[in-house]
A and B are shown apart, each in its own frame.
Chain A
Amino acid sequence: MIDITLGQYFPGNSFLHRMDPRVKMVLIFLYIFSVFIPQNWVGLGLAVAFLVFVIILSRLPVKLIFKSIKPIIPLVLITSALNIFYISDGTTLFKWGFIQITTKGITTASFIAIRIICLIAGSSLLTYTTSPTTLTDALERLLSPLKVVKLNVHELAMMMTIALRFIPTLIEETDKIMSAQKARGADLESGGLMQRIRALIPIIVPLFVSSFRRAFDLATAMECRCYRGGERRTRMKQMKMRVPDYISIVVVLAFAAGLLGLNFIFKSVL
């Protein structure tokens, strides 16, 4: 079984799941920018606390959040290390040859590490609580003002939706074809590089054949229903902003403003 959780949507019915996806998207972007505002520990603490609060609201298993952070740990470690070694002002704690560790270096490194983690965890909240198709739908509407510069937002979004829609289908199909060829004794696990590449032919050929068949079927089906692009199409799922969405906007704006304010109250540690 291929275990790719692309479009890692985790179904649920929490506050975050029910939010208007457009609002959710914009607010999460706003949060990601806000994470770079704090210059002091209090502000950074507030940013982390806010994230924790939203994670609790989303009712996602904490394990999932850690899973999203795991792949970027090396990146975090490398940037932190670089900062620790390159920043040479502040009180020196340790010196050996040209390596010098200062309090300032450690502070900056921790700030950057925490910011990256908040950024990734925050954006993963968006993909965990919104299905990929809803996401492209929201994106289409947010980008629709670009129509004035002759960008066909609808078609772009449609292509994205179709691509996303067919990823699980393709994975399932690959799985099935692999099983069918294994049932005929195909050996996919052993042999040298060339042998392994050759072993893929019995899987790739049927996969292409069925993908083309699906594409043609889909095109026919869409034409049968008189699909003609974005012109004057109405929608089955109307996106509507409700009271909780307005409240969320106010809360996040207040949060960002608070972070700015804290920068004036507390001395910058960077």
Chain B
Amino acid sequence: MPIIETQGLSYTYSPGTPYKKDAIKGISIKIEKGDFVGIIGHTGSGKSTLVQHLNGLLRPTSGKVLLNGRDIWENPKKIREVRFKVGLVFQYPEHQLFEETAYKDIAFGPSNMGLDGDEIDKRVRTAARFVGLKDELLEKSPFELSGGEKRRVAIAGVMAMQPEVLILDEPTAGLDPKGRDMILGQIAEYQKENGATVILVSHSMEDIARTTKKVLVMNKGSVAMFDETQIVFSRAEELQSIGLSVPAVTRIFMQLRGMGYNVGDNAYTVKQAVERLLPLLKREVGNND
């Protein structure tokens, strides 16, 4: 049974006004337990709207969201429990910090769950370790931290709830390359260690290529593709036709092939490219001898 399933999910913002907007239309997807799913799509294609349905922040205009096979809106009073199971880190989550210390801010989620003090402390420290926050930073006011540190505190705040499904909406937007690599690495580690299901929304094809197993491509509120990462990036022309790019490495491979080199299948991570190109280079060097 898929851990999350949506059936014909549609959502309209401001219905019945001139500002009416069908943000997502008839989305039906299944996400299996332990999957690492990437969501890509043009600005305004409905990615954020979609993920806000998965933890019950938005109530579908039509369609259903099933968590472990049960409609999450079956009992609207219990929707908070869904939010503890499906953790969502918003776009620019550092804007939601409010406590006096980073520690207390990370503890906000777990204490809402009604856990006892020891358990909360354990979870806060585990989550902080995961995102690479040093102990002395935990006692600082979140407003004194740097942008990247704030971002980590906010992500830790959701990780500390230890959700079965962790959703991150552009967690690396506006970070430097090193900070980006670090956060992505930590998310991948969290996934491995907890066997959690992770959904990552991102505009960076490189990030998606490197971390995810499956990719959901959104276009104008509908699902354009939903498949293994490799398969999705092999359909580069289709991606480009809906205004998305492919990882730079994949573009290089496409050009090499266009120039007449027999480089085989497209690679979409640097590691793959190295594996693919090295033998070819060796052969060339051999021929020259």
User: B-contacting residues of A (Cβ < 8 Å)?
Assistant: 10-12, 176-177, 179-187, 201-203, 205-206, 209-210
**Top 4 A-B pairs ranked by shortest CB distance?**
A185-B112, A205-B98, A180-B96, A184-B109
**A179-B90 in contact given A185-B83, A206-B95 (Cβ < 8 Å):** yes
Among A10, A11, A182, A201, which residue has its beta carbon within 8 angstroms of that of B98? A201
Q: Are B57 and A206 closer than 8 Å at their CB atoms? A: no
Chain A residues with CB under 8 A of B260: none
- Determine the distance from Cα of A232 to Cα of B55 in the docked complex, in whole angstroms: 54
Least Cβ–Cβ distance between A173 and chain B, in angstroms: 8
Chain B residues with CB under 8 A of A186: 108, 112
Q: Are B55 and A183 closer than 8 Å at their CB atoms? A: yes
Give A176's nearest chain B residue, CB to CB.
B90
Q: Are A185 and B109 closer than 8 Å at their CB atoms? A: yes
Looking at chain A's contact residues, is the secondary structure mostly helix, strand, loop, or mixed? helix
Chain B residues with CB under 8 A of A201: 98
Chain A residues with CB under 8 A of B57: 179, 182-183
Among A182, A183, A184, A210, which residue has its beta carbon within 8 angstroms of that of B95? A210
Q: Are A183 and B18 closer than 8 Å at their CB atoms? A: no
Residue B157 interfacial (CB < 8 Å): yes
- Which one of A11, A176, A180 has the greatest number of beta carbons of chain B within 10 Å? A180
Among A10, A11, A181, A187, which residue has its beta carbon within 8 angstroms of that of B96? A181
Q: Are A184 and B112 closer than 8 Å at their CB atoms? A: yes
- Determine the distance from Cα of A181 to Cα of B97 in the docked complex, in whole angstroms: 9
Q: Given contact pairs A185-B161, A209-B98, enumerate 16 new A-B contacts (beta carbons under 8 Å).
A: A12-B18, A176-B95, A179-B52, A180-B93, A180-B95, A180-B96, A181-B108, A183-B55, A184-B109, A185-B83, A186-B112, A187-B80, A187-B112, A202-B96, A206-B96, A206-B97
Least Cβ–Cβ distance between A128 and chain B, in angstroms: 12
Looking at chain B's contact residues, is the secondary structure mostly helix, strand, loop, or mixed? helix
Residue B143 interfacial (CB < 8 Å): yes
**A10-B157 in contact given A180-B96, A185-B83, A187-B112 (Cβ < 8 Å):** no
Give A183's nearest chain B residue, CB to CB.
B88
Q: Are B83 and A183 closer than 8 Å at their CB atoms? A: yes
Q: Are A177 and B108 closer than 8 Å at their CB atoms? A: no
Q: Are B83 and A182 closer than 8 Å at their CB atoms? A: yes
Residue B201 interfacial (CB < 8 Å): no
- Determine the distance from Cα of A69 to Cα of B95 in the docked complex, in whole angstroms: 39
Least Cβ–Cβ distance between A132 and chain B, in angstroms: 15
Give B157's nearest chain A residue, CB to CB.
A184
Residue B158 interfacial (CB < 8 Å): yes
- Determine the distance from Cα of A205 to Cα of B55 in the docked complex, in whole angstroms: 24
- Determine the distance from Cα of A186 to Cα of B112 in the docked complex, in whole angstroms: 6
Binary CB contact string for chain B from 64 to 84 against chain A (1 if under 8 A, 0 otherwise): 000000000000000010011
- Determine the distance from Cα of A202 to Cα of B158 in the docked complex, in whole angstroms: 15
Chain A residues with CB under 8 A of B248: none
Chain A residues with CB under 8 A of B113: 185
- Determine the distance from Cα of A187 to Cα of B78 in the docked complex, in whole angstroms: 11
A-B residue pairs in contact (CB < 8 Å), sample of 27: A12-B18, A176-B90, A177-B95, A179-B52, A179-B90, A180-B96, A182-B57, A182-B83, A183-B83, A183-B87, A183-B89, A183-B90, A184-B108, A184-B109, A184-B112, A184-B157, A184-B158, A185-B80, A185-B161, A186-B112, A187-B112, A201-B98, A202-B108, A203-B98, A205-B98, A206-B98, A209-B143
Q: Are B143 and A184 closer than 8 Å at their CB atoms? A: no
